[in-house]
Amino acid sequence: MNHMLRLVTITAIVLLFGQSWAEAENRPDPASDLKLDVGEGKRVYQSSCSGCHDTGKNRAPKLADKDAWAKRSFEWFSVMNNHATKGFLNMPPKGQHYELTDQDMANAVFYMLDQIREKP
Ligand code: HEC
């Protein structure tokens, strides 16, 4: 009887855990509301990012320099975007342009990654 009770309790916990996990997976990702726009990203880049990324200041990976970006997780747009927005090692959050919105940041990162993408 005791064994049965324990089994039921464990099953209930597993089911509850699985349920809340499934709910977390289904929650909409706020980043999915962003509409990426290369042209808009170029505008943000030129006004807020080029100061370091054109010249490689503080060892910032230079725009369109494939080697400089190769060792970074460039296929992980969301990781790059998160790093650029929140800061990463020598990269200050939003490049210290705190007025930029999440949409601005996403566009700028999208533009930068577009510069190193293989194009047919
Ligand atoms: C004050 C200088 C500076 C400015 C301005 C700046 N960055 Fe950076 N950025 C850096 C440096 C330095 C790194 C390299 C970080 C490291 O590896 O130490 C970097 C790295 C990055 C990376 C790579 C992150 C990764 O995961 O490897 C991205 C993406 C990025 N910057 C985007 C941006 C965007 C977008 C802007 C404009 C909104 C911007 N940066 C403005 C200095 C700057």
For a substitution probing ligand 1, which of 91, 100, 105 has the most ligand atoms within 8 Å of its CB? 91
Cα–ligand 1 centroid distance for 4 (angstroms): 57
97: Cβ below 6 Å to ligand 1?
yes
From CA 34, how far away is CA 51, in angstroms rounded? 25
Give the predicted TM-score (pTM) of the model: 0.76
pLDDT digits (tens, 9 = 90+) for 12-39: 555 555 555 445 455 545 556 789 999 9
Q: Kindly list the structural domains of the chain, giving each domain's residue range(s) and its CATH number in brackets, ordered by start.
A: 35-114 (1.10.760.10)
Which residues are bridge partners to 75 per DSSP? none
34 contact partners, CB below 8 Å, separation of at least 6: 102, 103, 106
Of ligand 1's listed atoms, the one at least distance from the Cα of 89 is 18
pLDDT digits (tens, 9 = 90+) for 65-101: 989 888 786 567 889 999 999 999 999 999 999 999 9
83: Cβ below 6 Å to ligand 1?
yes
Nearest residue (by CA) to ligand 1, atom 37, is 49
Mean pLDDT of 56-66: 94
The amino acid occupying position 7 is L
